[in-house]
């Protein structure tokens, strides 16, 4: 008997090789292989990332299928991240997906990584009760490469109503963390240290950008100059105030994000709201979002941490909705670094 629509999903846009198996929107497996090689360089090294994807993709797929208890013959379609991302990394996932689809004679589904981050809210965990957003739905997408407010009218119908004009929020975490001497990605470390710090200890500049757009490059420069001045007077300044610096920085970034989200809800009148992307794993952002939601009567959605950072389950759920609409691509599809 046919068991439903089973999709193999591949994500390789940056430095995580991830493979998931999804059946009718339910996750059967979702494996992520992180690349630790970049930590020492202060950012992802594209050439090292694509080489690591090449080494990881076959064993991770093999494990994902085994964990799901699914054979290659049961896969109905292969969904993969077409972009945006690092071209070399995307090429590995795209080529692998093409080869798999060709060998099995099954459809190929190209997925936009950003759309997938937003649709992570619709992932069903096998057997678990899940509350799903209804449309129209607003989503703050905050990751290492993007900071956007997206209005979803339907699963595959999205409009970007706010965007960063320079750095992404995750970049602000990572670049400021680098100034503090943390390895890449610095976001999780800042989050951890901030829990022991005073968020009112220092004040950093907040941008004044019109409408629903964001800016984070000024904050990074402000943070750099602030530390340069303090270090002139006390070379141990960072060491002595690490937790307070993290807490104050995190509080500034969170404030900027929540502020614009409130504005977006007021402008659109939408109270069905979610957060997504790697930075939405941040504990203060999550708390502030819950607080604001309760205050304003929002119906809020926060994905599990494993579905906020890059993962193939989100590619699988997007692939599933594209499958239902017959949105397939040909073997001539090529990855795109930017849309
Ligand atoms: O979505 P993602 O995994 O990859 C991109 O598509 O960019 O996001 C990675 C970003 C990095 O900038 C990382 O520092 C940030 O998410 N991040 C965090 C936390 N966990 C990951 N930022 C703040 N707090 C966290 N707990
Ligand atoms: Zn991402």
What is the tens place of the pLDDT at every residue in 53-76? Answer: 898 999 999 999 999 999 999 999
Find the ligand nearest to 142 CA: 1
Picking from 111, 110, 119, the residue whose alpha carbon sits closest to that of residue 308 is: 119
pTM of the model: 0.92
Buried b (16+ CB within 10 A) or exposed e, 77-109: bbbbbbbbbbbbbbbbbbebbbebbeebebbbb
| 263 pLDDT more than 70 | yes
- Select from 15, 86, 143 the residue to mutate for testing ligand 1; criterion: most ligand atoms less than 8 Å from CB: 143
Distance of CA 56 to the CA centre of its chain: 20
- Cα of 301 vs centre of ligand 2, distance in Å, is 18
| 135 pLDDT more than 90 | yes
Among 1-5, 8-12, 33-37, 138-142, which is the least confidently predicted range?
33-37
In this predicted structure, what is the pLDDT of residue 3?
Answer: 79
| pLDDT tens digit sequence for 207-253 | 889 999 999 999 999 999 999 999 999 999 999 999 999 999 999 99
| 47 pLDDT more than 90 | no
The answer to whether 328 and 34 are in contact (CB under 8 A) is no
> pLDDT > 70: what percent of the chain?
97
The residue nearest atom 14 of ligand 1, judged by CA position, is 187
Average pLDDT, the chain: 94
- Cα of 184 vs centre of ligand 1, distance in Å, is 10
SS3 percent helix, strand, coil of the chain, rounded to 5, is 50, 20, 30
- Select from 253, 278, 313, 314 the residue to mutate for testing ligand 1; criterion: most ligand atoms less than 8 Å from CB: 278
| 1 pLDDT more than 90 | no
Is 170 a pocket residue for ligand 1 (Cβ < 6 Å)? yes
Instruction: Give the DSSP H or E segment for 77.
Output: strand 77-83
| pLDDT tens digit sequence for 73-86 | 999 999 999 999 99
| Backbone angles phi and psi of 139, in degrees to 5 | -135, 130
In this predicted structure, what is the pLDDT of residue 39?
Answer: 67
Q: How confident is the model at residue 338 (pLDDT cuts 50, 70, 90)?
A: confident
Q: What is the mean pLDDT of residues 310-337?
A: 97
Is 75 a pocket residue for ligand 1 (Cβ < 6 Å)? no
Q: How confident is the model at residue 38 (pLDDT cuts 50, 70, 90)?
A: low
Who has greater pLDDT, 35 or 277? 277
Domains belonging to the chain, first-starting first, are 6-123+308-324 (3.30.420.40), 137-302 (3.30.420.40)
**Residue 226 CB partners (closer than 8 Å, separation 6+):** 202, 204
Q: How confident is the model at residue 15 (pLDDT cuts 50, 70, 90)?
A: confident
Q: What is the dihedral of CA 214, 307, 272, 125, to 10 degrees?
A: 170
- Looking from the CA of residue 250, the nearest atom of ligand 1 is 23
- Select from 49, 173, 276 the residue to mutate for testing ligand 1; criterion: most ligand atoms less than 8 Å from CB: 173
Distance from C-alpha of 157 to C-alpha of 147, rounded to nearest angstrom: 18
In this predicted structure, what is the pLDDT of residue 44?
Answer: 77
- Cα of 77 vs centre of ligand 1, distance in Å, is 29
Is 321 a pocket residue for ligand 1 (Cβ < 6 Å)? no
In this predicted structure, what is the pLDDT of residue 94?
Answer: 98
The residue nearest atom 23 of ligand 1, judged by CA position, is 187
- Cα of 142 vs centre of ligand 1, distance in Å, is 8
| pLDDT tens digit sequence for 145-157 | 899 999 999 999 9
């Amino acid at each position: 008997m046919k068991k439903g629509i089973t999709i193999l999903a591949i994500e390789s846009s940056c430095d995580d090789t991830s493979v998931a198996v999804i059946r009718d929107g339910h996750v059967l497996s979702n494996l992520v292989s992180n690349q630790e090689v970049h930590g020492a360089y202060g950012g992802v090294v594209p050439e090292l990332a694509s080489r690591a994807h090449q080494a990881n993709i076959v064993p991770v797929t093999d494990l994902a299928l085994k964990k799901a208890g699914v054979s290659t013959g049961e896969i109905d379609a292969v969904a993969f991240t077409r972009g945006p991302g690092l071209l070399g990394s995307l090429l590995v996932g795209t080529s692998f997906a093409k080869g798999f689809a060709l060998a099995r004679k099954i459809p190929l589904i190209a997925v936009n990584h950003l759309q997938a981050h937003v649709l992570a809210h619709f992932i069903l965990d096998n057997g678990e009760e899940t509350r799903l957003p209804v449309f129209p739905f607003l989503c703050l997408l905050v990751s290492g490469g993007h900071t956007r407010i997206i209005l979803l009218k339907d699963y595959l119908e999205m409009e970007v109503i706010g965007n960063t004009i320079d750095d992404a929020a995750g970049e602000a975490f990572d670049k400021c963390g680098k100034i503090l001497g943390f390895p890449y990605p610095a976001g999780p470390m800042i989050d951890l240290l901030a829990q022991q710090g005073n968020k009112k200890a220092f004040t950093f500049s907040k941008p004044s950008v019109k409408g629903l757009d964001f800016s984070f490059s000024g904050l990074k420069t402000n943070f750099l100059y602030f530390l340069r001045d303090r270090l002139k007077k006390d070379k141990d300044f960072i060491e002595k105030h690490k937790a307070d610096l993290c807490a104050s920085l995190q509080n500034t970034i969170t404030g900027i994000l929540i502020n614009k989200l409130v504005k977006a809800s007021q402008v659109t009148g939408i109270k069905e709201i979610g957060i997504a992307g790697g930075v939405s794993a941040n504990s203060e952002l999550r708390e502030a979002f819950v607080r604001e939601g309760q205050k304003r009567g929002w119906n809020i959605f926060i994905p599990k941490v494993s579905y906020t950072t890059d993962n193939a389950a989100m590619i699988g759920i997007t692939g599933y909705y594209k499958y239902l609409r017959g949105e397939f691509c040909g073997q001539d599809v090529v990855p795109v670094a930017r849309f």
